[in-house]
Amino acid sequence: MHDHAPDAGIRGASNRRLLAISLGITTIVMVVQIVGAVLSGSLALLADAAHMFTDAAALIIALIASAVAARPANERSTFGYQRAEVFGALINGVILIGLSAWVAVEAILRFLNPSESAVAGGLMLIVAVVGLVANAAAMWLLSTAQRTSINVRGAYLEVLGDLIGSAAVIVAAIIIVTTGWAPADAIASLLIAAMIVPRAIGLLREVASVLSEAAPQGMHVEEIRDHILSTPGVVDAHDVHVWQLTRGAPVFSAHVVVEESALTDGRSGQILGRLQTCLADHFDVDHSTFQLEPAGHIEHEAHA
């Protein structure tokens, strides 16, 4: 017997709307940055524009993944398609790693050949400020949804990278305007690459945790087992498992040994209700499956 997780359709529709708005903002700023990079000769702006282009592609991937994840469960995919969000986040992480490598190489080449890197600092500064404001708006839109969706989390991290990148470009532009030191543009590009990598690795690590069905971060099996054992009528618990389909969607299962009398006097339903309420209230687990069994059944399982 188990308790099914509530329908995530409303949340998914809201996430898709936020992702679509962020995609519009990202696309507009990307075009502005490409034009600004061409006119100013700034590699940092071009790197930021490339990041925005990658973000636009990643947001499209996130939208597709979110739509697929909203499909209902069926006989072949009994948990539904929420894992599509995880695969979307995996693609985002790989894109981030590739982007950072490209930016680093281009920045080093520019730094080694400063004579070929004349930059119009004033125009570079204006475009960077526009990017900063737009990225801040996109981050604000995604800030709430990214806490419950690994897919939106990936998009959020990319926008965060853009925000920090725009700030680095602004600093470089100010240096160029005030001192005329062009290598500041290449250094800003390297900083952008350096800031992208840790977030990409963190995202890929979370994806690996979900795909390997490890317990969600901050959730301890022993603590859950202690709560189960404190339930009246429960004697023991074994085969305790907890994993997650995607960020914010933990799943739990356990074999629970109960008193013989609980199975004969009709208290098993009451015990099951208490166990499911405990999981939902204390650990935010909406989908829990318990197998209630009498003492001695575990020996039967071991023999089998």
Q: Residue 129: its pLDDT value, please?
A: 92
What is the rounded CA–CA span in Å between residue 274 and residue 121?
65
Place 2 in a pLDDT band, splitting at 50, 70 and 90.
Answer: very low
pLDDT at 301 over 70: no
For residue 5, the model assigns a pLDDT of 42
Residue 105 dihedral angles phi and psi, to the nearest 5°: -65, -45
Which tokens go with 207?
């994806």
Phi first, then psi, for residue 251 (nearest 5°) are -130, 140
State the Cα–Cα distance between residues 168 and 192, nearest whole angstrom.
7
Write the pLDDT tens digit of every residue in 12-47: 567 677 778 878 888 888 888 889 888 888 888 887
pLDDT at 267 over 80: yes
Residue 243 has pLDDT above 50, yes or no: yes
Provide the pLDDT for residue 6: 43
Mean pLDDT along residues 241-255? 83
Rounded mean pLDDT of 149-162?
74
- Side-chain half-sphere exposure of 245, counting CA atoms within 13 A: 21
The per-residue pLDDT for range 79-101, each reduced to its tens digit, is 667 777 788 778 878 887 888 88
Can you tell me whether residue 244 is helix, strand or coil?
strand
Copy the structure tokens of residue 15. 């996430």
**Helix (H) / strand (E) containing 46:** helix 43-69
Do 99 and 196 form a contact (C-beta atoms < 8 A)? yes
Q: How many residues does the chain have?
A: 304
Query: Whole-number mean pLDDT of the chain?
Result: 79
pLDDT category at 1 given cuts 50, 70, 90 is: very low
Among residues 214, 255, 207, 242, the alpha carbon closest in space to that of 95 is found at 207
Q: How many CB atoms lie within 10 A of CB 207?
A: 24
Query: What residue ranges define each of the domains in the chain, with the CATH number in brackets?
Result: 2-211 (1.20.1510.10), 221-303 (3.30.70.1350)
Which tens digit of pLDDT belongs to each residue from 67-83?
A: 766 677 777 776 667 77
- 43 C-beta neighbours (distance < 10 Å), count: 26
Check if the beta carbon of residue 166 is closer than 8 Å to that of residue 100.
no
Find all residues with CB under 8 Å of 33, minimum gap 6, and list them.
45, 46, 48, 49, 52, 127, 131
Alpha-carbon gap, residue 194 to 38, rounded angstroms: 24
pTM of the model: 0.68
